Structure 1
């Protein structure tokens, strides 16, 4: 992947601004992995992430003239992917019934179990969260948004953002405890 503001990247961006198909394809291929990683954090499956990624790249290509070359392209691209994922979430949220996990059991989380989790296992647990919790968790914990920014992005109150994050963490604790319990039972057989 070209470094931000490298001559190679700037040349590629200039080609995209001229609507050069080859440059657009190369930009897509160069940043596909990074962008897909961002999108996967906000969805339950690869198909939805790919849809968000493609919508995001369309926005990148149509808004490229607004990119400030003094700033990091990768950060700008990431922000577009996050905003596209949020747009996708808002569209989907209108059609989904919100899951109630108030009755989720509380569990003690074993620090050793956390350290033994692979990245893929952790991502699987995050993706298993209900959409509102998953989005809030990613924005707050992974991407560093404040509750005020999350509330503004999602059209919810700051209190709802805090509640969603708290519930996401509790749900993750439950999922981790279940995984730990399942692993213990498998090993002890």
Structure 2
């Protein structure tokens, strides 16, 4: 896993169970980039993402004895980091919406637009969304949560979750269309 053998990885996990700092550091180094790729989607800045990731690693280290070594580590780690990022965002109280689903416009998407945009450009566009829109978009589209789950986790109504998703998609389509227009002009 990431340049380590399965045996070495299990030794790292065992060391983490014993609170061995060098093993904790090794696990941190192995999963830092993966964890950041999750946290940056929920955070307003890179510094905030690092803070959220560090909180996630603390939870991983505190709960490492609960990890079932017969199962893959990455999904277990991912679940902890995603939940940490969501909890952080919820604590920031960034999920209030003044308008409901009825007022949101459902704008159709154009799949061809995505084929002309790089992953980095697309992620920058997602990052530019308000934290309310970005969080619901990430939870629904990327992490696979249902609107009912999102509503319960974030303490918002189902209609607000749906509205935030529609608005996030509309804003992303607006940004993508502008980007494509710029590509066609240039």
Which range, TM-score by smaller chain? 0.7 to 0.9
CA distance in 2 between partners of 1:165 and 1:175 (Å):
15
CA distance in 1 between partners of 2:160 and 2:104 (Å):
18
RMSD: 2.7
Count, aligned residues: 183
In the TM superposition, residue 97 of structure 1 has moved relative to its aligned partner by 7.7
Paired residues of 2:59 and 2:80 also in contact (CA < 8 A):
yes
What's 1:123 paired with? Answer: 123
CA distance in 2 between partners of 1:147 and 1:70 (Å):
32
What's 2:74 paired with? Answer: 74
Unaligned runs of 5+ in 1: none
User: What does 1:133-152 align with in structure 2 at a 5 Å threshold?
Assistant: 133-152=133-152
CA distance in 1 between partners of 2:175 and 2:35 (Å):
27
What's 1:37 paired with? Answer: 37
TM-score computed with the length of structure 1 as normaliser: 0.85
What's 1:161 paired with? Answer: 161
What SS does the corresponding residue of 2:42 show, helix, strand or coil?
A: coil
1:57-108: CA deviation from partner (whole Å, max 9, x where unpaired):
11111111222223221111111111111121112226x88698x9999977
CA distance in 2 between partners of 1:98 and 1:108 (Å):
22
CA distance in 1 between partners of 2:71 and 2:173 (Å):
38
* CA spacing shift, 1:131–1:99, aligned 2, 3 Å: farther
TM-score computed with the length of structure 2 as normaliser: 0.86
Unaligned runs of 5+ in 2: none
CA distance in 1 between partners of 2:8 and 2:152 (Å):
36
What SS does the corresponding residue of 1:93 show, helix, strand or coil?
A: coil
What's 1:92 paired with? Answer: 92
What SS does the corresponding residue of 1:41 show, helix, strand or coil?
A: helix
CA distance in 2 between partners of 1:125 and 1:179 (Å):
10
In the TM superposition, residue 113 of structure 1 has moved relative to its aligned partner by 3.0
